[in-house]
Structure 1
Amino acid sequence: MKKSLVLAGLCAAAFPVFSSMASAGPIESACLRSGRDAASRALCGCIQEVADMTLKGNDQRRAAKFFRNPDQAHEVWVSQRPADDEFWDRYKNFGAMAEAYCAQ
């Protein structure tokens, strides 16, 4: 009985950790795969938290592509399309908040 309670307690404590690992968002995944020296699970997770607060899913997926191909960010930045300008404003807000919130 005692072992069952201990095992149940450990499973309950571990569940949030494993579920958060399994449900990494697009920004966190791209950050972790980026190969940058500063990319850590803690930092990339923090950046994903900010993305969840500031960007919708389609914006997150679009921004995640910038980790693989930074030239895409430049293309959006210089674009004359109103939709790109609106996205860029949201992306800049996300970047500023992530920098302030996740600074180490």
Structure 2
Amino acid sequence: MNRILIAAAAIILTTPLAMAGPIDSACIRSDRGARQPNLCQCAQQVANQTLSRADQRLAASFFRDPHRAQVVRMSKRDADNAFWARYKAFAGAAEAYCR
């Protein structure tokens, strides 16, 4: 029984607390993110608190295709407008928290 508890504790203590999410992964692959991994991790933490996984995937796509952000921002669709409001809130929170 003690061996099982020790093995379980070792697994828990060596497992990262948070796996990289879509924002962190996209940020790290970007030119700036590769030089600032802590900033990418911080942005992911804020994203986890403010955006759904679907929103995070859409926001992460902006790293690969910045024009897509412009298309979403200028869209007349209600869903895109709602996303953009959430995205702006995320960006503001990340800017304030991840300094």
Superposition TM-score, scaled by structure 1 size: 0.78
Q: Are 1:34 and 2:30 counterparts?
A: yes
Aligned residues: 93
Q: Which runs of 4+ in 1 moved over 2 A?
A: 11-14
Q: Are 1:48 and 2:47 counterparts?
A: no
Q: What is the aligned partner in structure 2 of residue 82 from structure 1?
A: 78
CA RMSD, 1 decimal: 2.2
Query: In structure 1, what is the Cα distance between the partners aligned to 2:65 and 2:59?
Result: 10
Superposition TM-score, scaled by structure 2 size: 0.82
The amino acid of 1:46's aligned partner reads: C
Secondary structure of 1:35's match? coil
2:20 to 24, 28, 44: 24
Unpaired segments ≥5 residues, structure 2? 1-6
Q: % of aligned pairs identical?
A: 51
Query: In structure 1, what is the Cα distance between the partners aligned to 2:14 and 2:73?
Result: 41
Query: In structure 1, what is the Cα distance between the partners aligned to 2:91 and 2:83?
Result: 12
Relative to structure 1, is the Cα distance of residues 70 and 98 closer, same or farther in structure 2, using a 3 angstrom cutoff?
A: same
